[in-house]
Amino acid sequence: MSSARERRELRDRRARRDPGRRRGPWYLLTGLILGLAFGLLFSLRISPVQYVDTAPEVLRQADKDQYRILVALAYQANGDLGRASERLANLHDPAPEAPLAELAQRLVADNQNIETARALAQLASALVQPAGASTQSTPGNAVTTAAATAVVGTPYSTLENAQAIQTATPQPSPTLPAPTVAPRITVTPTLSTPFVLIDRQPVCDPSVEDGLIQVTVQDAAGHPLPGIRITAAWQSGEESFYTGLTPMISPGYADFGMTEGYTYLVTAGEGGEQASGLTTGECTASDGSRRLSGWKLIFALP
């Protein structure tokens, strides 16, 4: 009996001398959790990782949109389509014109910077231009497609007066070496020429959205013009939209949905011929379905 009592007393004395044996491994788990929490706090808040000179393709979507805007504005300034294409290639988009057009549409829908949307639309339109359509000719003037897309809102530029180029031959700034600045190409014959309505047709097509006004704008040679402001006005309001936001259809295409019961007036550019009395009503399509009619309008330079 005494030996058993002595063994119990010996165990009690050992336990009192080494209390850590009775705590178990839980204090190790608590330390691990605290260490992980501090590590996350330090890496996310105190000293987060900062990426420098990263590739455009790994940017967040918002930053990719800003990159596309910068490329479009640079193209608008210098008309260098090859360089713009190389810059967009860094994003590794399968079809680089599609994100440009989609971003331009979002800017217009959100009533944000319209000039930026026009620059995006012009670059998207230039990317889908056929290779053989690089040169357009008019009597007495040679006009390139790059020139038509490089000038904002050709033929009606909305640049400030201080920025407008008045001469047919660009002159380099005396303070900058001429080889370092690509000259802006100016299409002087079209700056003040109004568009005329050359075709107006009602549409009752099952493949087209109900009540849609489809507008195409082109130059005197029949080539589509992107970045042209179209104005649709009705009894109680007015809305502007631009060609070139859907380059997959045509660089000179834009559309607008009518509301039944209203009469619309559509103008291309500023001071041009108006397409008036545009309304929508029921019609019978070729497949026998009942639809709301629309219109197809073509505006061109005289």
Q: What is the DSSP annotation of 44-60?
A: IIIS-----S--GGGS-
pLDDT at 2: 60
Measured at the CA of 60, the angle between CA 59 and CA 62, to 5 degrees, comes to 120
Quote the strand ranges of 33-140, DSSP E: 135-138
* Cis before 155 (ω within 30): yes
pLDDT at 62 over 70: yes
Rounded CA separation 58/43 (Å): 20
- The CA-atom distances, in angstroms, between 56 and each of 86, 88, 117, 124 are 12, 9, 21, 19
Q: Go through the domains of the chain in sequence order and give each one's CATH number.
A: 196-300 (2.60.40.1120)
Question: pLDDT tens, 79-115?
Answer: 888 889 888 998 888 888 888 888 888 887 777 777 8
**Higher local confidence (pLDDT), 115 or 162:** 115
The percentage of the chain sitting over the pLDDT mark of 70, rounded to a whole number, equals 71
The percentage of the chain sitting over the pLDDT mark of 90, rounded to a whole number, equals 22
Hey, which of 11-15, 187-191, 211-215, 251-255 has the most confident mean pLDDT? 211-215
pLDDT at 198: 94
Give mean pLDDT, residues 206-227.
Answer: 91
Residue 73: CB partners within 8 Å, gap ≥ 6? 116, 119
Question: pLDDT tens, 5-58?
Answer: 777 777 777 666 655 555 556 767 888 888 888 888 887 778 776 666 677 888
242 within 8 A of 256, measured Cβ to Cβ: no
Measured at the CA of 90, the angle between CA 85 and CA 92, to 5 degrees, comes to 95
- The CA-atom distances, in angstroms, between 225 and each of 119, 230, 246, 297, 298 are 13, 12, 12, 14, 11
Residue 175's pLDDT band (cuts 50, 70, 90): very low
Average pLDDT, the chain: 75
103 within 8 A of 68, measured Cβ to Cβ: yes
- The CA-atom distances, in angstroms, between 74 and each of 20, 31, 87, 88, 158 are 70, 55, 10, 12, 17
Structure tokens belonging to residue 89: 């290639």
Residue 189: CB partners within 8 Å, gap ≥ 6? 138, 141, 143
280 within 8 A of 204, measured Cβ to Cβ: no
At position 26, the amino acid (one-letter code) is W
195 within 8 A of 270, measured Cβ to Cβ: no
At position 101, the amino acid (one-letter code) is A
Short-list 283, 286, 293, CA closest to 258: 293
pLDDT at 165: 38
How many Cβ atoms sit within 10 Å of the Cβ of residue 294? 24
Residue 63's pLDDT band (cuts 50, 70, 90): confident
pLDDT at 291 over 50: yes
The answer to pTM > 0.75 is: no
**Higher local confidence (pLDDT), 20 or 162:** 20
Edge-to-edge strand ranges of the sheet holding 253-257: 196-203, 294-300, 212-218, 253-257
pLDDT at 152 over 60: no
245 within 8 A of 121, measured Cβ to Cβ: yes
